């Protein structure tokens, strides 16, 4: 009997002393709870730990970013049913909108989460994140009226406010809220009909605006082409004008030079005539005339001079001698 008790005691001690491996993945943290000391220890990601399972409890939390998806379409959300968020606007309209919450667990708060909230990430999402999200996101969206919610900028601002509000309420639970994303939304059928008409009108307006812009761009392109053509014509005309001006200037210079040459020639001739006239009017005029006459009649014999009543033969040399021309010539020859 005593041997049996000893064997049982040894087996119990061996069982208590046996350690088994417990592993955490790269995006997980583990929490070890000692049943004897009532203490907890956080196990870091990507490691293996050995401890006796009889006196220790163990759980693992996924600390990567999680998505809580609440969608009108069953196949698009976390639940296989219509699960979008319904809220009432400030002016009394009911709106249903898809909402996605991006959140994650603070690894340093894993032990606290296990002790106070939930033993796993999935349970934490259903117990804490989901009800808190539906409450505080609705509170943020209730501040808008229908027209403001239809405005994408104001809707994005409301989503940012919902992110801050939800983060403040989930932070004590060891949960970090990264973003609240608002998806597709719809109004009541009657109001939605008006919204659809407005969207159609806006779409038509955008289409017309695009057509107007396209027309303006086309006209602008045509205008640029026309300007280029006119510029080319202007450049060509200016070139032709410059050539014509140069030709006219050259012609004017040539005619001026020709006129100056003619003037110079005529001036020289006139000056010669003037000097000759002056010489003829002086005392040597008679001698000059005689010399000119001698040069003209030299080596020429004049035998007759016509007369009205018939031909009379006259000795021209005697006539010249009588006129004093030959005598003058004879007087000039010794001087030479």
CB neighbours of residue 321 within 10 Å: 14
Helix 189-281 vs helix 285-297: angle between axes, to the nearest 10 degrees? 90
Give the pLDDT score at 7. 46
CA-based nearest residue to 115, from 64, 174, 160, 71: 174
Structure-token match 């909108």, residue found = 97
Give the pLDDT score at 284. 60
**Which neighbouring-strand residues pair with 303?**
none
Secondary structure (3-state) at 188: coil
Give the pLDDT score at 282. 62
Q: Which residues neighbour 45 within 8 Å (Cβ) at sequence distance 6 or greater?
A: 24, 25, 26, 27, 28, 29, 63, 107
Element (H, E) at 107: none
Give the pLDDT score at 43. 87
Give the pLDDT score at 40. 86
Torsions phi, psi for 92 (to 5 deg): 95, 5
pTM exceeds 0.85, yes or no? no
Give the pLDDT score at 118. 93
3-class SS letters over 143-185: CCCHHHHHCHHHHHHHHHHHHHHHHHHHHHHCEEEEEEEEEEE
Give the pLDDT score at 140. 94
Q: What is the pLDDT along the chain (336 residues), one digit of tens a residue?
A: 555 545 445 444 444 456 788 888 999 999 988 888 888 888 899 888 888 888 888 999 999 999 999 999 888 888 889 999 999 998 888 999 999 999 999 999 999 999 999 999 999 999 999 999 999 999 999 999 888 888 999 999 999 999 999 999 999 999 999 999 999 988 877 777 777 787 788 888 888 888 898 888 888 888 888 888 888 888 888 888 888 888 878 877 888 888 888 888 888 888 887 877 776 666 566 666 666 666 666 656 655 555 555 555 555 666 556 655 555 455 555 555
Compute the distance between CA of residue 43 and CA of residue 57 in angstroms, rounded to an integer: 13
Give the pLDDT score at 14. 45
Q: Which residues neighbour 32 within 8 Å (Cβ) at sequence distance 6 or greater?
A: 22, 40, 41, 42, 43, 49, 51, 56, 57, 58
Compute the distance between CA of residue 106 and CA of residue 112 in angstroms, rounded to an integer: 10
Q: Domain extents for the chain? A: 17-61, 65-187, 286-335
Give the pLDDT score at 74. 81
Compute the distance between CA of residue 206 and CA of residue 228 in angstroms, rounded to an integer: 32
CATH number of 65-187: 3.30.479.30
Structure-token match 């730990």, residue found = 49
CB neighbours of residue 268 within 10 Å: 10
Tally of residues, the chain: 336
Give the pLDDT score at 11. 44
Give the pLDDT score at 96. 92
């Amino acid at each position: 009997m005593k041997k049996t008790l000893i064997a049982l005691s040894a087996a119990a001690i061996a069982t208590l002393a046996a350690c088994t491996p417990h592993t955490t993945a790269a995006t997980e943290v583990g929490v070890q709870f000692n049943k004897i000391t009532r203490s907890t220890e956080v196990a870091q990601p990507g490691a293996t730990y050995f401890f006796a399972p009889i006196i220790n409890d163990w759980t693992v939390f996924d600390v990567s970013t999680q998505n809580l998806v609440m969608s009108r379409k069953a196949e698009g959300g976390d639940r296989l049913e219509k699960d979008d968020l319904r809220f009432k606007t400030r002016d009394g309209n009911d709106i249903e909108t898809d909402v996605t919450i991006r959140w994650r667990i603070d690894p340093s708060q894993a032990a606290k989460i296990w002790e106070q909230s939930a033993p796993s990430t999935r349970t934490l999402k259903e117990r804490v994140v989901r009800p808190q999200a539906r409450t505080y996101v609705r509170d943020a969206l209730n501040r808008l009226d229908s027209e403001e919610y239809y405005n994408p900028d104001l809707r994005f601002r409301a989503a940012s406010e919902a992110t801050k509000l939800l983060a403040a309420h989930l932070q004590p639970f060891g949960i970090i809220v990264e973003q609240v994303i608002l998806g597709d939304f719809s109004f009541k059928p009657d109001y939605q009909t008006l919204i659809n008409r407005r969207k159609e009108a806006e779409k038509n307006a955008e289409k017309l605006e695009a057509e107007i812009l396209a027309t303006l761009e086309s006209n602008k392109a045509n205008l640029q082409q026309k300007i280029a053509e006119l510029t080319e014509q202007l450049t060509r005309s200016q070139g032709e004008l410059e050539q014509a001006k140069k030709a006219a200037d050259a012609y004017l210079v040539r005619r001026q030079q020709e006129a100056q040459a003619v003037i110079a020639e005529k001036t020289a001739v006139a000056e010669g005539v003037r000097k000759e006239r002056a010489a003829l009017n002086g005392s040597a005029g008679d001698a000059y005339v005689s010399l000119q006459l001698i040069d003209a009649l030299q080596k020429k014999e004049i035998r007759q001079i016509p007369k009205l009543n018939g031909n009379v033969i006259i000795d021209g040399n005697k006539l010249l001698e009588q006129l004093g021309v030959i005598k003058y010539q004879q007087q000039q020859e010794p001087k030479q």
